[in-house]
Every structure is written in C-alpha cells, then in structure tokens.
Amino acid sequence: MFDRRRMMQFSAAGVGTLAASGWMNVLADAAKSSPAKATGKVKNVILLWMDGGPSHKDTFDLKPESKGAGEFRPIKTSASGIEISEHFAKLATWMNHGTLVRGMTSPEGAHARAKYNLHTGYREGAGGVTYPSLGSIVAMEKGRSETPVPNFVSIGNRSFGSGFIGPKYSPLIITDAGRGLEDLKSVAAAKAQTNRLDLLEQMEKAFFHDYQAGVITDHSTAYARAVALMNSKEAKAFDITQESAAAKGKYGTGRFADSVLMARRLVEIGVPFVEVALGGWDTHQDNFTKVKALSQQVDAAMSALLEDLKERGLLDSTLVVWMGEFGRTPNINTRGEKPGRDHYPKAWSLAMFGAGQRGAVIGKTDKEGATVVDRPVPPQDFLGTVCDLVGIDHTKKNDTPNGRPISIVEKAKPFTAEIL
C-alpha cells in the first residue's frame, strides 16, 4: 500500500518540464494532473519561528503592575490601545497592520512535543499518524505545480516535515542563509549531465522495480527536485549576496537577518511558505538580557521585511507570523544570579502582520499573564485562521496511507472575521 502511494508521489514530484531527460518527463506528466488550487487573497506565509518559547510578558503582553513583571516598559503602537515591549520600537509602527493573539493556550510544555503540536495542530503520536506541518499543508493546497523551487522552504531550522502527505511537500532546508544553496552547478558538461541523469534514472527504476521500498522513491524524489533546481533561473533567489549593502543592512546582521531577507526574496518568486527560525528564547536563565537582544534582532529584521513587502505590493498578500512553541512563566524563577522564566503553555502570545490585518487583539490574560480570561485560542483555532486567510478549507480531510481521513485542522474555531 505504501508503495503505490510512494510511486505516485514519485511521479508527481512537483517539478515541471525542465529538461529533456526522461527523468524529468516522468515527473512533468503527473504534475499536469494536479488538482485546482484554492484561491485566497493571501498567497504567501512567512513563519518566523521563535525557537525555545518566547516570554509573552516580556514581548507582546507586558504586565508592568504584576508580581512577576519584567524589566521592560510597554510602548504605544500605531494601533490604538495596543502596547508592546519597548524593544520593538520599529515594529510598533506596523501594529496597525497586525494582530496580537494574547489568548494562546496549548497542551504541551516540553519543547519537542510543543513544536510538533503548534506546527501540525495535533499531538505527537496521536493515532499512530505522522501529521504534516503547516508549511507542508500550504505547499500542498496552495503550491504551484510547475515549479523548480519547492513550495516550502525552511531556513535555519529543520522544522517539521510533510508527514503522511508525502515527501513532495517536505521542506527544502537551508541551514545557513549567508551561504545560500550550495553545489548548484553540475561538474559535467550539459550533454554529459543529461547522460548521467539518464543512467541514474535507469538504475533507480530497476532498483525500485526489485525492492519497491518507499525510501527508494524518497531518494529519487529528492534527486529529481535537486536537478530541477539546478536547471532553474529561480535558484538565484537563494543568493542574498545579490542584495545591495543598504538593502541588506536594514535587516540587521547575523543569520536571522540573512534568513528573513532570503524569505523575502523567496516570497517574491512565489514560494508560498517560508519558515525562518530564531533560536535562543529558552530563557530559563538571564531572561532579560537575552530577550532584549533577541527582540532587537526581531525588530530590525521584521520591520525591514514588512517595509519591503509593502514597497513591493506584497504586504496584503503575505501573512507574517511571529511565534514560538509556548510562553514562559508569569513569575521569575530563582535560578542563580540572573534568573529567568520557565516553560508555560497555559497562556501566551503570538503576533501576525500583513494579510490585510488592521490592529486587533484576540484574547486576554489576567493581570499576572497567567490565565486566559477572554477568548482562549488553542493551536487549532490559530491554524484554522491561517488556513482561512490563505484560502484553505481547514475541514478538508486528507487520507493517510491506510485510508484514514484526517482533517487538516480538527475542531478549529477560527477568528478570521475579527481581524480583517
């Protein structure tokens, strides 16, 4: 049962008519039969993943009067009544194009399981199924079928994969944006390269014929996608050295800045989902020094991104999400000289910009930032909202390899109408 599915995925590996090689033609034929794509106003999503779980009380839900108040002061933003951390001074000017979700509440308090939960909407291990992450779902539902650049790119992070919907929708992972995508140039001349691919294709077919394992298809798929990319002009979107010093400089310096810049270049060529990770938010110790430095990185890169998107007319068709896997304890712990905050999934915040949003707040925590007192938002409601915005029917069911239908998001109550 696996094998037929895998074989179909192999055939539909998501690349167009790019080379004369028979290999490519196999792939192109099936691509033509891709289903019609849903249409939403929003065409792209950039997920800025704050790895480790940022402290909501020190970023977007400050409680200066509370017992466990942080060191930072709140500042006013372009959205009336919304105040955020002083270390988001530039971002504050974009708040009228955003939404703060202050009612996030989720079930997992350990990093790995929480990341899985927030990326997929499901709990790890539930039902014995490996669920697809949001990026893979968007790639499947909104992805362009004739494209050499994968529809899901993850920068600086492994992220989560495509699960049961198959390797066609798995992310292209860029570990270091500064170095871009390496080894794109073939070592052989064009004619020899075509011959090589033909030889390889024959070997792959023969091996699959005998052994029929899904991992063979996965290998062939990765190779086919790599070859498509080598042959494409769009591959230069991965080369941020093509940006001027000024254009680059406003994003800040370092890997995160480079990654966000690359995300913009990818959205410009139509990649529907780009995830960028910024690690370091697991601030059990020395919370305030770390959160301040991280916030400043976010402030520069994210506001530069929003500005560039606006200039290019892409802000309304792009959703930019800032989030991690949970929040952090309302109280400050007692670890050592420089204390911090520990994991806290019960009440936390995320922020979204672009996509026609206009400065709303969803959900509210109590005066300590410890409990959601109004409009709790479980991960499903957030994921359902993202689906709404990009025009994906979140109630749609996809079949697992065993034929079990699984909703894209289960029991979602989106808040889409409240933010547009």
Partner 1 sequence: MRSYRVIALILFSAAAVGLSRPTWAVADDAKTKAAQKFELRKKLKEAADAKRKAESAQPAKATQPVEAAKPVDTKPAVKLPAVLTPAALAKFIDQQIDARLKAESIPASERTTDAEFLRRVSLDLTGTIPTGDEAKAFLDSTASDKRERLVATLLASPNYGRHLADLWTTKLFPRDSDNRFVLKDPLRDWFAAEFNKNASWAEMTTKLLSTTGDVETNPEVTFFLANRTIDKLTDAVGTHFLGQSVACAQCHNHPFTTVKQTEYWELAGFFSKVVADRPRNVNKGGDNNKIGVKEGFGPSKAKDFFPEAAIKTSPKFLGEATPKFADREPYRPALAAWVAGPNNPYFAKAMANRTWALLFGRGLVEAVDDMKDSEDASHPELLDALALQFAANKFNLKDLYEAILLSEAYQRSSKPLPSNAKDDELYSHNRVKVMLPEQLYDSLQVLNATALAALPPAKGKGEPKAKPAPMRGGGNQRDQFVTFFLAGSETANQAEYEAGIPQALKLMNSKANLANFPNAFRAFFKPNVKPADAIEAMYLSVLSRRPTADESTRLLAYLDANGRDSAADILWALSNSSEFMLIR
Distances (CA, A) of 274 to 2, 150, 300: 29, 10, 19
Give the nearest distance from C-beta 118 to partner 1 in angstroms: 17
Give the nearest distance from C-beta 392 to partner 1 in angstroms: 24
Give the nearest distance from C-beta 362 to partner 1 in angstroms: 27
Beta strands in 355-390 (DSSP E): 360-362, 364-365, 372-374
Give the nearest distance from C-beta 45 to partner 1 in angstroms: 20
Handedness of CA 221, 227, 231, 232 (dihedral sign): positive
Q: Which residues, including other chains, have CB under 8 Å from residue 334's CB and lie 6 or more apart? A: none
Residue span 189-218 as binding mask against partner 1, x where in contact by CB under 8 A, dash where not = ---x--xx--xx-xxx-xxx-xxxxxxx-x
- How many residues touch partner 1 (CB under 8 A)? 60
364 belongs to the binding site for partner 1 (CB under 8 A): no
407 belongs to the binding site for partner 1 (CB under 8 A): no
What's the token pair of residue 157? 């992070």
Element (H, E) at 418: helix 416-419
Could you tell me if residue 81 is left (phi over 0), alpha (psi between -120 and 50 degrees) or otherwise beta? Answer: left
Whichever of 119 and 394 has its CB closer to partner 1, that residue is: 119
Of positions 25, 175, 241, 289, contacts partner 1 by CB under 8 A: 175
Whichever of 149 and 419 has its CB closer to partner 1, that residue is: 149
**Can you give the length of the chain in residues?**
420
Provide the b/e sequence for 368-406 (b: ≥16 CB within 10 Å).
Answer: bbbebeebbbbbbbbbbbbbbbbebebeeebebbeeeeb
3-state DSSP assignment of residue 135: helix
Contact 345, 55 (CB under 8 A): no
Stretch that binds partner 1, among 168-176, 246-254, 352-360, 363-371 (CB under 8 A): 168-176
174 belongs to the binding site for partner 1 (CB under 8 A): yes
Of positions 335, 364, 375, 396, contacts partner 1 by CB under 8 A: 335
Residue span 226-245 as binding mask against partner 1, x where in contact by CB under 8 A, dash where not = xx-xx---------------
225 belongs to the binding site for partner 1 (CB under 8 A): yes
381 belongs to the binding site for partner 1 (CB under 8 A): no
Whichever of 179 and 397 has its CB closer to partner 1, that residue is: 179
33 belongs to the binding site for partner 1 (CB under 8 A): no
DSSP H helix total and E strand total for the chain: 12, 16
127 belongs to the binding site for partner 1 (CB under 8 A): no
Contact 143, 14 (CB under 8 A): yes
What's the token pair of residue 392? 């994906």
Interface residues for partner 1 in 283-322 (CB under 8 A)? Answer: 284-285
Give the nearest distance from C-beta 225 to partner 1 in angstroms: 5
Interface residues with partner 1 (CB under 8 A) are 1-3, 109-110, 113, 150, 157-158, 161, 167, 170-175, 181-188, 192, 195-196, 199-200, 202-204, 206-208, 210-216, 218-220, 222-223, 225-227, 229-230, 284-285, 333-336, 342
